[in-house]
């Protein structure tokens, strides 16, 4: 719908201040009826990643009424679902009680939480353009956007032309009238104005920023560029962790810390060893401080899954356990949030940022001036061969630790490929990364089952308080561990299948073709392992 | 998607008023309606201020679908579209005669046309032709307005006879009393007798009303300009009676 009615927008115009719907009426030979204005305060909601906007929708609230609508450029389109919210504002998809709303929002939100991203007062007027027979041939919705508290001057005015099926020519004529009255098609609509007032522009959020690498640039220069792309993401997420809107700020903060740390070790020799180790230590410490909080987030995110794994009669048994997790999480969160606000933490963060600011600040090192292209490719290919070597030794009897080691190696290779995919010509890296991702997903699942079992055992060993006395708890924990163990074993077969695909055939040929360089003498390089 | 046709062998029985107001009542229920005016007189489209359809080539089902699709017009009422009539529709019969499966062509055409709609309504010309037979074979229900008079009763019985002769399913015939004048003893007598003779007779009936006749002046459905009139309520009830048994399908 438009702000108030349903139909799609065919032409979108930004209108000059002097134009009014009345002016358009004067310029139209047929009759025009302009309906009275309707004013409403609209608040827009989205996630940090703009999942709803990029999903082609808009979630808005007017008072307690939430409506999910399709987005047509900068205009509100047809309503998909809606709900009246009487209690606290919804944060996650599950906070809506309307199943249609939950289902539509689920994929767009993922694990991200909703926050208000803009609010404004809208005045909407509708004009109906008729032909000589008195038939409506076009509708125009005229929307003025006002900043709160400044109701006299609109921030911007927009006209949306909505043709009626079979009368598209008339709509084009109406659009001409609008153009003649100063309307300009910028592709923007009221939604853009609301967000602009709030200081927001929907952007694409990525954990893989483009660094602008070239194969011939020095390795140190390339590493600094990559790091300068990652560091702002760390800062951006770190600043939002204390709001506790969702678990993904901490998650992404940790991913990027880990990436930066891996970058240093995978490209060992690019900085003097002492400096590399020093910074690795800082990054490791920063990540470790949030380990427990992340573990608890993972446990709590699995609550629904755990509950569904158990037969109904045992489900009550784990209720208390999750209650304990929630309490511990609240305490951990407080601790982490306070640490993030401390001056010591700020100083450490500043030191991380400063490390990559100026590459000349560091002393010479063996790999600093080596061209990054050949260096990175050699290390990627070496890492790939190492994984193939491990894969050859794997079997059904392989201990979990060996699978874990394979997972770590795959992660290192993935990071290397992510960092330097810009240097791979065409889209060749995509298929290789896809095969790697498939294998990693299986390894990750295997590891998750293992970690979850350990975590349940740890909870059981250290249990105390009333929740621990719940009569169903031993059965429920035991039941869960059994199921998780079973699933972990099943996952072994999947891993073997993933390895077969990744270590042979087209993928192996592609790795060799792209990353294996002709042997030549050149400057020494570090091991990078 | 359901196909409902407004049909009568006899003219002037309230057939077009039924098609127009039923289409409006359907969209009032939140369903997407397409009204196809098959009557070359074009009265249904006139009521919506929609011009005649542009002429188009009709050599086979495909070209008919394309031509009809190009002629879909959005009415002033969101959720209700119209395909207006065209004098050329009087050639439908000749065209159908020349086609294979000529008795079922309209069904094929509708299938190509109606993905965007929940209910398609057809206002049919008042005669029995090959087009009518196509309408019968394409419809889920055929609403037959019957004025409670002897002559109307006779024409309805002729229609039932035609259905039997052609081995058409009589169950889709849904007659109802139209232009009813409660003060007429004859109307009351026929209304008491006729429904018992036909299983599908609808309980709803449409009263004779000057409000309905004003549609030609207002050029819009009665339900749009006289929402609370007795006749408007009667059309809504009739719509409900027809659609309710199908509602799980929507």
**Three-state DSSP class for residue B144:** strand
Res A262 pLDDT > 90: yes
Q: What pLDDT was estimated at residue B91? A: 65
Tokens found for residue A242: 């204390």
Q: Could you give the 3-state DSSP secondary structure of residue A205?
A: coil
Check residue B101 and give its pLDDT.
63
What are the residues whose beta carbons fall under 8 Å from the beta carbon of A400, sequence distance 6 or more?
A450
As a whole number, the mean pLDDT across chain B is 88
| A132 in B contact zone (CB under 8 Å) | no
pLDDT at A6 over 50: no
DSSP-derived letter for residue B53 is P
Q: Which residues are CB-neighbours of A378 under 8 A, at least 6 positions away?
A: A515, A517, A525
User: What secondary structure letter does DSSP report for A154?
Assistant: -
Å between A159 CA and nearest CA of chain B: 20
A355-386 residue pLDDT tens: 999 888 899 999 999 999 999 999 999 999 99
Q: Spell out the residues 6+ positions from residue A211 whose beta carbon is closer than 8 angstroms to its own.
A: A222, A225, A226, A228, A229, A419, A422
Smallest Cβ–Cβ distance between A166 and the set B72, B76, B78 belongs to: B72
- Element (DSSP H or E) covering residue A341: helix A312-341
Residue A27, pLDDT score: 82
Closest to B46 (Cα-Cα) out of B20, B68, B78: B20
How many CB pairs (< 8 A) connect A and B?
25
Pull the structure tokens for residue B170.
């009589």
Domain boundaries, chain B: 2-147+210-235
Best mutation target among B27, B37, B74 (most A Cβ atoms within 10 Å) is: B74
**Which one is predicted more confidently, A232 or A426?**
A232
Please report the pLDDT score of residue B88 as a whole number.
66
**Angle A237-A241-A246 from CA coordinates, rounded to 5°:** 95
Longest dimension (CA), chain B: 51
A484: buried, middle or exposed (CB in 10 Å: 19+, 13-18, 0-12)?
buried
User: Touching check for A133 and chain B: CB below 8 Å?
Assistant: yes
Assigned fold of B2-147+210-235: Rossmann fold (3.40.50)
Residues facing residue A60 across a β-bridge: A44, A67
For residue B110, pLDDT beyond 50:
yes
Q: Do A133 and B48 touch (CB under 8 A)?
A: no
Computed over every residue of chain A, the mean pLDDT equals: 90
pLDDT, tens digit, 9 for 90 and up, residues A481-508? 999 999 998 898 889 888 888 998 889 9
Tokens read off for A288: 């470790």
Best residue in B49, B51, B54, B80 for a mutation probing chain A (most A CBs within 10 Å): B49
- Give the pTM: 0.80
Mean pLDDT, rounded, for A461-476 = 78
How far apart (Å, rounded) are the C-alpha atoms in residues B239 and B241?
5
**Residue A334: closest CA among A286, A293, A285:** A293
Which of B78, B81, B219 has the highest number of chain A CBs within 10 A, making it the mutation to test binding with A? Answer: B78
- Residue-level pLDDT at B161: 93
A178-192, A393-407, B220-234: segment of lowest average pLDDT: A393-407
Confidence (pLDDT) at A397:
78
pLDDT for residue A393? 85
Rounded to 5, what percent of chain A is helix, strand, coil? 55, 15, 30
Residue in B71, B74, B219 closest to A164 by CB:
B74
pLDDT band at A105; cut points 50, 70, 90: very high
Read off the tokens for A433. 């990364």
Q: What does the alpha-carbon distance between residue B96 and residue B117 come to, in Å, rounded to a whole number?
A: 25
- Report in angstroms the alpha-carbon separations of A471 from A26, A319, A320, A322, A465: 79, 12, 11, 15, 13
Mark yes or no for CB contact B51/A164 under 8 Å.
Answer: no
Which conformational region is residue A166 in: left (phi greater than 0), alpha (psi within -120 to 50 degrees), or beta? left
The confidence score (pLDDT) of residue B128 equals 84
Q: pLDDT per residue over A81-100, tens digit each?
A: 999 999 899 999 999 999 99
Q: What is the pLDDT of residues B39-63, one digit of tens each?
A: 888 899 999 999 887 777 776 777 7
A134 interfacial to chain B (CB closer than 8 Å): yes
* Residue B32 half-sphere exposure toward CB, CA atoms < 13 A: 9
Q: Is the ipTM of this complex over 0.90?
A: no
CB contact under 8 A, A133 and B51: yes
pLDDT class for B111, splitting at 50, 70, 90? confident
Predicted local confidence at residue B94, as pLDDT: 64
Does pLDDT of A47 surpass 90? yes
- The Cβ of residue A305 has, within 10 Å, a number of other Cβ atoms equal to 9
- Please name the member of A6, A135, A165 whose beta carbon is closest to the beta carbon of B76: A135
Higher pLDDT, A489 or A520: A489
Nearest to A145 by CA among A337, A295, A14: A14
Other CB atoms closer than 10 Å to residue A60's CB: what's the count? 24
Q: Are B221 and B230 in contact (CB under 8 A)?
A: no
Q: Which residue has the tokens 């009238």?
A: A177
Strand partners, A71: A76
Place of tokens 């302009």: A34
Half-sphere exposure of A120 (CA within 13 A, CB side): 27
Stretch B77-98: mean pLDDT, rounded? Answer: 78
**Helix%, strand%, coil% for chain B, nearest 5:** 50, 15, 35
Strands (E), chain B: 2-6, 33-37, 73-74, 80-83, 119-123, 141-146, 173-180, 205-207
């Amino acid at each position: 719908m438009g702000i108030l009615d349903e139909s799609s927008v065919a032409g979108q115009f930004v209108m000059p201040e002097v134009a009014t719907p009345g002016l358009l009426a004067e310029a139209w030979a047929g009759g025009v009826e302009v309906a009275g204005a309707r004013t409403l305060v609209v608040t827009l909601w989205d996630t940090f990643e703009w999942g709803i906007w990029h999903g082609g929708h808009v979630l808005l609230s007017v008072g307690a009424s939430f409506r999910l609508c399709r987005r047509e450029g900068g205009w509100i389109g047809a309503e998909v679902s809606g709900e009246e919210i009487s209690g606290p504002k919804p944060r996650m998809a599950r906070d809506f009680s309307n199943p249609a709303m939950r289902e539509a929002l689920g994929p767009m939100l993922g694990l991200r939480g909703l926050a208000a991203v803009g609010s404004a007062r809208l005045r909407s007027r509708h004009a109906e353009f008729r032909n000589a027979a008195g038939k409506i041939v076009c509708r125009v919705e005229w929307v003025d956007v006002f900043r709160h508290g400044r109701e006299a001057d609109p921030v911007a005015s927009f006209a949306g032309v909505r043709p009626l099926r079979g009368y598209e020519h008339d709509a084009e004529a109406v659009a001409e009238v609008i153009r003649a009255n100063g309307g300009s098609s910028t592709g923007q609509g009221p939604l853009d104005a609301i967000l602009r007032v709030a200081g927001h522009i929907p952007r694409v959020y990525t954990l893989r920023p483009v660094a602008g690498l070239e194969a011939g640039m020095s390795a140190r220069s390339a590493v600094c560029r990559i790091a300068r792309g990652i560091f702002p993401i760390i800062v951006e997420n770190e600043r939002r962790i204390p709001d506790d809107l969702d678990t993904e700020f901490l998650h992404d903060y940790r991913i990027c810390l880990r990436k930066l740390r891996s970058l240093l070790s995978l490209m060992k020799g690019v900085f003097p060893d002492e400096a590399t180790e020093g910074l690795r230590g800082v990054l490791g410490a920063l990540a470790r401080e949030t380990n427990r909080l992340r573990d608890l987030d993972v446990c709590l995110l699995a609550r629904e899954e755990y509950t569904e794994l158990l037969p109904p009669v045992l489900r009550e048994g784990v209720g208390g356990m999750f209650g304990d997790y929630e309490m511990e999480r609240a305490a951990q969160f407080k601790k982490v949030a306070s640490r993030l606000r401390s001056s010591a933490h700020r100083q450490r963060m500043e030191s991380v940022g400063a490390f990559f600011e100026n590459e000349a600040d560091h002393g010479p090192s063996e790999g600093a001036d080596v061209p990054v292209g050949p260096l990175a490719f050699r290390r990627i290919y070496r890492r790939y061969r190492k994984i193939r070597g491990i894969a050859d030794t794997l079997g059904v009897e392989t201990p979990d630790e060996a699978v874990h080691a394979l997972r770590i190696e795959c992660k290192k290779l993935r990071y290397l490929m992510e960092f330097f995919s810009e240097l791979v010509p065409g889209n060749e890296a995509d298929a290789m990364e896809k095969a790697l991702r498939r294998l990693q997903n299986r390894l990750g699942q295997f590891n998750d089952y293992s970690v979850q079992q350990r975590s349940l055992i740890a909870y059981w060993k250290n249990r105390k308080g009333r929740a621990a006395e719940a009569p169903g708890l031993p059965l429920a924990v035991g039941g869960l561990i059994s199921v998780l163990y079973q699933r972990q074993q099943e996952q072994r077969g999947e891993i073997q299948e993933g390895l077969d695909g990744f270590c042979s055939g087209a993928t192996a040929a592609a790795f060799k073709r792209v990353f294996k360089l002709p042997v030549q003498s050149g400057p020494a390089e570090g091991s990078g392992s | 998607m359901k196909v409902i046709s407004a049909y009568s062998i006899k003219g002037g029985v309230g057939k077009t008023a039924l098609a127009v107001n039923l289409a409006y009542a359907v969209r009032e229920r939140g369903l997407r309606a397409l009204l196809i005016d098959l009557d070359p007189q074009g009265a249904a489209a006139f009521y919506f201020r929609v011009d005649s359809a542009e002429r188009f080539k009709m050599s086979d089902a495909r070209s008919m679908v394309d031509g009809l699709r190009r002629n879909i017009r959005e009415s002033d009422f969101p959720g209700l579209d119209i395909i207006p009539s065209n004098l050329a529709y009087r050639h439908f019969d000749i065209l159908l005669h020349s086609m294979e499966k000529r008795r079922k062509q309209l069904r094929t055409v509708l299938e190509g046309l109606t993905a965007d709609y929940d209910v398609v309504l057809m206002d049919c010309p008042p005669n029995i032709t090959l087009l009518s037979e196509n309408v019968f074979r394409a419809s889920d229900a055929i609403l037959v307005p019957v004025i409670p008079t002897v002559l109307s009763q006779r024409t309805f019985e002729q229609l039932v006879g035609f259905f039997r002769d052609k081995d058409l399913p009589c169950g889709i015939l849904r007659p109802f009393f139209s232009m009813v004048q409660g003060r007429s003893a004859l109307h009351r007598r026929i209304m008491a007798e006729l429904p018992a003779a036909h299983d599908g007779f609808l309980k709803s009936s449409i009263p004779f009303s000057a409000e309905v006749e004003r549609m030609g002046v207002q050029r819009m459905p009665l339900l749009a300009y006289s929402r609370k009139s007795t006749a408007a309520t009667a059309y809504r009830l009739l719509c409900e009676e027809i659609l309710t048994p199908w509602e799980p399908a929507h």
